[in-house]
Amino acid sequence: MKMFTIIAGDKRLIFYSNLIVQTLFVQTEIVLFDIFVLILNPSSLFLIPMMVGGFFLNFLLIPIVAGFTNFVLLLPLKVNLMSLLMMGYIFLAMLIINLPYQPDSLLGIILTVLMPSSYMIQFYNAGLNMLGQATLANAGLLTIVALFYLLVGFYPVRHMKLQSHTSRY
């Protein structure tokens, strides 16, 4: 990473180019999965507009959610411990995501702010209008949380260390 930073002149360029490449890979995987579903179940053709809408919403959503997780770059943790913490966070998110709550309730707002998985569900619901028209309060909350996620994500990219995790200790 240090050599690439010297060549490019800025570590943010490397990080963001990697994010773009990862976004394209995720989008390619989603398209291949959608095609696979359509081939195996031709009765799902009515889902094509939702698949296309989700495809385009992902270009907005992936950088926002990636921004939320960038704070991990600042933590002085070894890779094994970081992997364990992330798996615990994902497991907790999977447990919490199925709690019965209304999106406009206090619990819904807290989960939308703190859990990227809840944010993604609210984002897709508002973007695809699967549950009716999105309210102005919900759209405002999604916008504020997106800005917060991006601000939280921008700072660690500017201040992340260039040395590898193994050389930090």
Question: H or E segment at 93?
Answer: helix 79-96
If one compares 112 and 10, the residue with the highest pLDDT of the two is 112
Residues 114-137 have pLDDT tens digits of 777 778 878 887 777 755 566 667
If one compares 40 and 127, the residue with the highest pLDDT of the two is 40
Q: What is the pLDDT, as a whole number, of residue 85?
A: 83
Q: 3 pLDDT exceeds 60?
A: no
- Assign 104 to helix, strand or coil: coil
pLDDT band at residue 5 using 50, 70 and 90 as cut-offs: low
The Cα–Cα gap between 168 and 76 comes to 8
Listed ranges 9-18, 31-40, 45-54, 148-157; the one with the highest mean pLDDT: 31-40
End-to-end CA distance of the chain: 18
Residues 85-111 have pLDDT tens digits of 888 888 887 787 777 777 677 877 787
Q: Which of 119, 114, 125 is nearest to 143 (CA)?
A: 119
Give me the chain's average pLDDT, please: 77
Q: 169 pLDDT exceeds 50?
A: no
The Cα–Cα gap between 159 and 112 comes to 26
Q: For the chain, what percentages of helix, strand and coil (3-state, to nearest 5) are there?
A: 80, 0, 20
Residues 26-49, mean pLDDT to the nearest whole number: 90
The Cα–Cα gap between 49 and 107 comes to 31
